[in-house]
Amino acid sequence: MQAAPAAPLSLIIPNAVPGTLTKPVTFSLDAINYESRKDQRQTINAWNRFVTGPEYRAKAARLCPKTREEKKRRKNHFELLTAVHDVESLRVQRPTDPRTKSPITPAHEFEVHLEADDYTEEKYQVFENYQRHVHNEKPTEISRSGFKRFLCSGMGQIDQVFDGKKQKLGSYHQCYRLDGRLVAMGVLDLLPGCVSSVYLIYHQNVKEWYFGKLSAMREISLAIEGGYNYYYMGFYIHSCIKMRYKSQYQPSYILDPETYSWDRLTADVLERLSARKYVSMSVERELRLPPYKIPSIKELKLDSAELTRFSDYQKEQNHVGVRHGGDSTSAFDVGMPGIMSLAEVQKEIPLGRWLIKLRSTLVHLDDLQGWTGWDIHDKTSLKAYIAELAAGLGPSLVKQLVLTLDA
């Protein structure tokens, strides 16, 4: 019998439990002014060479050579929009080879289409392959109903005219097909003013081509061409190693939780995010705090108003989550009937492999920075909270559920 589909379970986790997650921050990229990195350019260039193939490139160079000026421009300047569209089937040049009297063709036919977020069996097969090979899920843990609920139940789709330009709004699937076969799919929310990336799946056969980078550059180009201007990659949680890649896309900005203003995600800001659990750049500037560990009051020269501000900011850093009703007693302490003991949880449930959805990204708990060092016996730790939850659910349900951070 097939297992029930994975369903998101909302678990309220204090934002600053000692030694756990840094507070999630809203993260956005200024697509218009996108600054490509060398590894990103190398990724898309490698993919384009794969799609066209050496034989096509040799013939194309002979039959439709680029001008000296164009060669120089491409060598010295990376053009994102050109790069992402260069090898699409409808864009590839196909001059006639005088020797064969037939048009030359690339090694592969590559197409990208923005489609409604409807369910199709073709999409599900890619999802099933992705969950098995990337998330190591068993076939019995993957279901069509789970896929529909997770990735095919967005906002619907509408068109609007903004500044005289037609825009699509709603939830979409950006589908990547190679030789007619769906190999990857980005799940997107198109909103007024931004393209929001929700999820990406790809087939194991194209794993070596780094579709995470390819799709991100493709989605940035969509934000530019569609007039959305900004690209959202979900929350940024600095303590989650698997989210660090987001900071490699620039110019990026994080939202100040105090003033709701945007600050450029620079090396200085990243250092501050590494040094503390809660960062407000407006407060950091007001109090003239260094990027490393927050100094003591004695080390800072603050007036009375600034001292109050500093004290409040320290509370954000040191805040300890309190259990519901203020009760610090663990369910393990009272031997609550019907739940597993801590020893049973540790023996029968691999807590670190439990999936948690951080905005639009699924990661395992043991991917979180510091997970292995957190004390499961410390009642205020995230690991202790999750162990109690697992004890009440049991091994079977833990396999079927996905944790989410409460907003």
For 144-165, write each residue's pLDDT tens digit.
998 998 899 777 899 988 778 8
For 1-27, write each residue's pLDDT tens digit.
233 333 333 344 444 344 445 677 888
Q: Which residues of 241-260 are buried (b: 16+ CB within 10 A; e: fewer)?
A: eebeebbebbebbbbbbbee
Query: Tokens at residue 172, please?
Result: 């979409």
Helix/strand/coil for 305: helix
What's the pLDDT score for residue 114?
Answer: 96
For 364-393, write each residue's pLDDT tens digit.
888 887 787 788 887 767 788 888 888 877
**Alpha-carbon span 215 to 186, nearest angstrom:** 7
Helix (H) or strand (E) holding 160: strand 157-162
Helix (H) or strand (E) holding 171: strand 165-178
What mean pLDDT comes out for the span 61-65? 91
CA nearest to 143, candidates 127, 157, 163? 127
CA nearest to 114, candidates 51, 164, 159, 52? 159
Burial class (CB in 10 A: 0-12, 13-18, 19+), 306: middle
What's the pLDDT score for residue 371?
Answer: 83
Contacts of 149 (CB under 8 A, 6+ apart): 5, 7
Helix (H) or strand (E) holding 28: strand 25-30
**Alpha-carbon span 279 to 22, nearest angstrom:** 9
E strands, 266-360, are 355-358
Q: Which residues of 69-106 are buried (b: 16+ CB within 10 A; e: fewer)?
A: eeeeeeeeebebeebbbbbebeebeeeeeeeeeeebbb
Alpha helices per DSSP H over 264-303 = 267-275, 281-286
What's the pLDDT score for residue 72?
Answer: 85
**Alpha-carbon span 19 to 379, nearest angstrom:** 12
For 204-260, write each residue's pLDDT tens digit.
999 999 999 999 999 999 999 999 999 999 888 888 888 889 999 999 999 998 898
Q: pTM for the complete prediction?
A: 0.74
Instruction: Note the residue count of the chain.
Output: 407
